[in-house]
Structure 1
Amino acid sequence: MPAARTSLTPRVMGRLRLASQGLLGDGFASVPQAVRWMTAMQAQDLGSALWAVGQRVRGTAASHVRSALDAGTVVRSWPMRGTLHLLAPEDLGWILGITSDRLMNMVAGRHRELAITPDDINHCRDIAFKTCEILKTAEGAPGASREQLFQAFEEAGQVTKAQRGIHLLGGLCQRAWLVQGPMAVSNGKVGVQQLFVPFAEWIPESRDLGREEGISELLFRYVQSHGPATIRDFSWWSQVPLTEARKALAAVQDRLVELPFGGTSYWLSPEAAAMLDDGVPGARSLLALPGFDEYLLGYQDRSLVLAPEFAERVVPGKNGVFKRIIVSGGEVVGTWSRTVTGKTTGVVSEPFADQLGPAPERSFQAQGRAYLKFMAG
């Protein structure tokens, strides 16, 4: 007899998302493969982004993700929502072609407050290119650090205080003139900053997709990697207007599966949908995910996996800073933190209930050890 189709519940929907995101099973074979599959991974906090990749690529270490950034097989920039993401290099240009106009409209008010004009952006572009060329000629450096660019901007009369400098850099990256490249080295040590490099030098080959074709591909890949998800989830995630998102859905829906749940249409890949017949894995899984992970942040509506009454436990005061989360069987059941006592580093669970229970706590501690090993590697 064929297996009974799995009944849909929020936890099952959550586990389908875990599977789509490579968080169950074998995951991905390499860092670039994981990032390409996810299309764009939130990376405002680099340490969180490293672990987000590590959870999807078994047996890797933080140094492997940094090496991918150094080699340019993964890049970090501001492609959407005014925040940093990890992307495949060949994808950044065409995604910016879709999102940059809206991004610049979103920050226009702040730019007026900071007295940033289009001429200022163009001026800083010329300064940045010249600075990178000088450093390359004099030191063999592939790019310039944020501090070096800020100094060059200041010397040319471009104020960088009060966040004006980072908005200038963001504007250059959103126009595909600069991109963050290899990790910066300070005093012989790799820090958490990256060098800024000319886009065309760091990414010599980019895919060329028109807006309509690009939105259709972006939607298809989002659903593949994030499904089950709604069209509103995609519109929020990508900042593509809902009208254009719906048009794109009409173009690709024959390659996707519609899944009605709770009066809403969710979309997912045929491979993920097949799990409903074969058995959705991960019922006993427990993961210690970083703050800002796509598993939670990648959707407008997060209530499928995070009960609304616990939302402020993850984002205290709704301040936009996401704490690390514990995911059990597809449901966010708590947060966790890194602890340092003397020379000893550990992790501590902060469940929403009184405690995780003995077996889940053991699984969490195993995840914690994996995290500490990953970050040290």
Structure 2
Amino acid sequence: VLNKSAALLENVLHGGNYLTRKEIGAALKSAGIVANRFRLAYILMNAELKAVICSGPLNGKQHTYALIDERAPQTEDLTFDEALAELTLRYFRGHGPATVKDFKSWSSLTLAEIKEGLGMVESRLEHEVIDGLAYWFAEPAQYPEPKSPTVRLLQVYDEYIMGYSESRSVLDVSGATRSLPERTVPFNGAVILDSQLAGHWRRTLKKTSVLIEVALYRPLDDAETHALQTAADQYGEFLGVTTEPVVATAI
């Protein structure tokens, strides 16, 4: 069933024909494949794991699926060593400064594989030991200095959060989060203020508006509060609704 479903997906998505989950379910049903409830989820996950499908562009507010060969066409075949070297270099270029354990958590590679990968690209990277941890990074590209204060409202699975494990403390240089007793974080989203974790957030969608609630590790000054509301307004604009004034509480 899974192989038959994957073959059908290749046919119905061919030529940039991006389909929503509901549309794929209907196509499978038309082909005599039962794809209700969890069964459809398993069929789609299997096709993703086999590198048949991936995320497509939004259709209005609906997510779609696409053929991975069309969405991200492969230009060349790499050997394992070439792929390992390229992945290692790209991770530390895009995430550095980061540690070996960060890379292991992100990539699921073994420590032996990471050591091998670093051995192949270390001449193209730099590293520095801070408090006993070796941080690897590439020479940063030159970008304009960002406006300060700037607030970003990130989802909990954003790469800025999930790309690190051992060195997540770089997101909290002041130690504000570590100085508090352990407790359940009230909201899942991350409030990032000038690259640092300032709190957490959640949204409540209404008919014509969205309410953003934040729980902060410290009070914000007027400029930071304005930056927070600006980020919330941008989120509402993305959703196509108005944004209510942000409701802030302390953690």
SS of the aligned residue for 1:191 comes to coil
Match in the other structure for 1:372: 236
Q: Tell me, in whole angstroms, the C-alpha distance in 2 between the residues paired with 1:243 and 1:363.
A: 44
CA contact under 8 A between 1:181 and 1:202: conserved in structure 2? yes
Match in the other structure for 1:229: 98
> Aligned runs of 1:320-339 on 2, under 5 Å?
323-338=188-203
The reply to whether residue 169 of structure 1 matches residue 44 of structure 2 is: yes
Aligned length: 233
Letter aligned with residue 46 of structure 2: G
- Larger % of helix: which? 1
The reply to whether residue 258 of structure 1 matches residue 127 of structure 2 is: yes
Match in the other structure for 2:222: 358
- Decide which of 59, 63, 69 is 1:193's aligned counterpart: 63
**Aligned-residue RMSD, C-alpha:** 3.4
Match in the other structure for 2:244: none
SS of the aligned residue for 1:160 comes to coil
Change (3 A) 1:252 1:204: closer
CA contact under 8 A between 1:326 and 1:332: conserved in structure 2? yes
Match in the other structure for 1:300: 165
Letter aligned with residue 326 of structure 1: V
Q: Tell me, in whole angstroms, the C-alpha distance in 2 between the residues paired with 1:294 and 1:204.
A: 23
Match in the other structure for 2:137: 268
Match in the other structure for 2:246: none
Q: Tell me, in whole angstroms, the C-alpha distance in 2 between the residues paired with 1:199 and 1:215.
A: 21
> Aligned runs of 1:311-322 on 2, under 5 Å?
314=185
| Higher relative contact order (Cα pairs below 8 Å, separated by 6+ residues) | 1
Alignment TM-score, normalising by the size of structure 1:
0.53
Deviations 1:97-148 (A, max 9, x none): xxxxxxxxxxxxxxxxxxxxxxx32121222234446xx7xxxx72443223
Report the CA distance between 1:359 and its aligned residue.
3.3
Report the CA distance between 1:293 and its aligned residue.
2.1
- Decide which of 128, 132, 136 is 2:9's aligned counterpart: 128
Match in the other structure for 2:87: 218
Letter aligned with residue 142 of structure 1: N
Change (3 A) 1:340 1:143: closer
CA contact under 8 A between 1:335 and 1:349: conserved in structure 2? yes
In structure 2, stretches of 5+ residues that fail to align are 242-251
Report the CA distance between 1:347 and its aligned residue.
3.5
Q: Higher mean Cα deviation, 341-350 or 245-254? A: 341-350
Match in the other structure for 2:249: none
The share of aligned pairs that are identical, in percent, is 25
Change (3 A) 1:201 1:251: closer
Deviations 1:290-341 (A, max 9, x none): 2122221211232332535588655x5xxxxx72222234431212344567
Change (3 A) 1:312 1:192: farther
Q: Tell me, in whole angstroms, the C-alpha distance in 2 between the residues paired with 1:200 and 1:283.
A: 39
> Aligned runs of 1:271-282 on 2, under 5 Å?
271=140
SS of the aligned residue for 2:61 comes to strand
